[in-house]
Amino acid sequence: MAIAPPADGGVRHLARHQVRRRLGSLARSEGAGGAALFIAPALLALLLFRVMPAVYTALASLETPTGLGLENYRYMVTSGFFLQSVQTTLIFSLIVNPLQVVLALGLAVLFQGRFPGVGFTRTMVFLPTAVPLAVASIVWGVAFRPDSVVNALLVSLGLGPQPFLTSPEQALLSIVVLLSWVGVGYWMMFLIAGLHDIPEVYYEAAAVDGAGPVRCFFSITLPLLRRPLAFVTVAATVANFVIFAPVQILTDGGPQGATNLVMYEAYQRAYAFADLPLASAEVLALLVVMIVVVGVQFRLLRSET
Partner 1 sequence: MSTPNRRSGIRRAGRITLGVAAALLFGLPVLWIVVSALRPPREIFEFLAPLTPRVLIPETLTLRSFSVLLSGTFPRALVNSLVVAVLTVAGGLLLCSTAAFGLSAVRFRHREAVFAVVVISFMIPFEAIAIPLSQLFRDWGLQNSYAGLVLPGVANGLAIFLLRQFFLGIPSELKDAARVDGAGLWTIFTRIYLPLSKPPLIGAGLILFMFSWREYLWPLLIISEPGMDVAPVALAKFVGQFQFDYGQLFAGALLVAAIPAVLLLRLQRYFRQSVASVAIKE
Quick one: 85 exposed, middle or buried, by C-beta within 10 A (0-12, 13-18, 19+)?
buried
Q: Is 118 in the site for partner 1 (CB under 8 A)?
A: yes
Nearer to partner 1, 11 or 83 (CB): 11
CB of 96 closer than 8 Å to CB of 176: yes
Nearer to partner 1, 71 or 231 (CB): 231
Could you tell me the smallest distance in angstroms from the CB atom of residue 303 to partner 1?
7
Q: Is 197 in the site for partner 1 (CB under 8 A)?
A: yes
Beta strands per DSSP E along the chain: 63-64, 67-68
Q: Is 159 in the site for partner 1 (CB under 8 A)?
A: no
Q: Can you tell me which of 13, 30, 83, 218 binds partner 1, judged by CB under 8 A?
A: 30
Would you tell me how many other CB atoms lie within 10 Å of the CB of residue 31? 9
Nearer to partner 1, 4 or 201 (CB): 4
Would you tell me how many other CB atoms lie within 10 Å of the CB of residue 129? 15
Q: Can you tell me which of 15, 37, 201, 208 binds partner 1, judged by CB under 8 A?
A: 37
Q: Is 158 in the site for partner 1 (CB under 8 A)?
A: no
Q: Can you tell me which of 65, 116, 160, 223 binds partner 1, judged by CB under 8 A?
A: 116
Q: Is 24 in the site for partner 1 (CB under 8 A)?
A: no
| H or E element, residue 207 | helix 200-208
> Under 8 Å CB-to-CB from 77, ≥6 apart: which residues?
83
Q: Can you tell me which of 60, 96, 171, 281 binds partner 1, judged by CB under 8 A?
A: 60
CB of 261 closer than 8 Å to CB of 85: yes
Q: Is 62 in the site for partner 1 (CB under 8 A)?
A: no
Interface stretch with partner 1, choices 79-87, 92-100, 146-154, 168-176 (CB under 8 A):
146-154
Distance of CA 165 to the CA centre of its chain: 24
- Cα separations in angstroms, 160 against 146, 153, 155: 11, 10, 6
Could you tell me the smallest distance in angstroms from the CB atom of residue 119 to partner 1?
10
- Cα separations in angstroms, 58 against 98, 219, 227, 297: 33, 48, 35, 24
Could you tell me the smallest distance in angstroms from the CB atom of residue 84 to partner 1?
20
Task: Kindly identify the residues of this chain, within the stretch 86-115, that bind partner 1 according to CB under 8 A.
Answer: 107, 110-111, 113, 115
Q: Can you tell me which of 95, 179, 241, 265 binds partner 1, judged by CB under 8 A?
A: 241
Q: Can you tell me which of 127, 205, 222, 272 binds partner 1, judged by CB under 8 A?
A: 127
Nearer to partner 1, 5 or 98 (CB): 5
Gap between the Cα atoms of 75 and 102, Å rounded: 38
Would you tell me how many other CB atoms lie within 10 Å of the CB of residue 87? 13
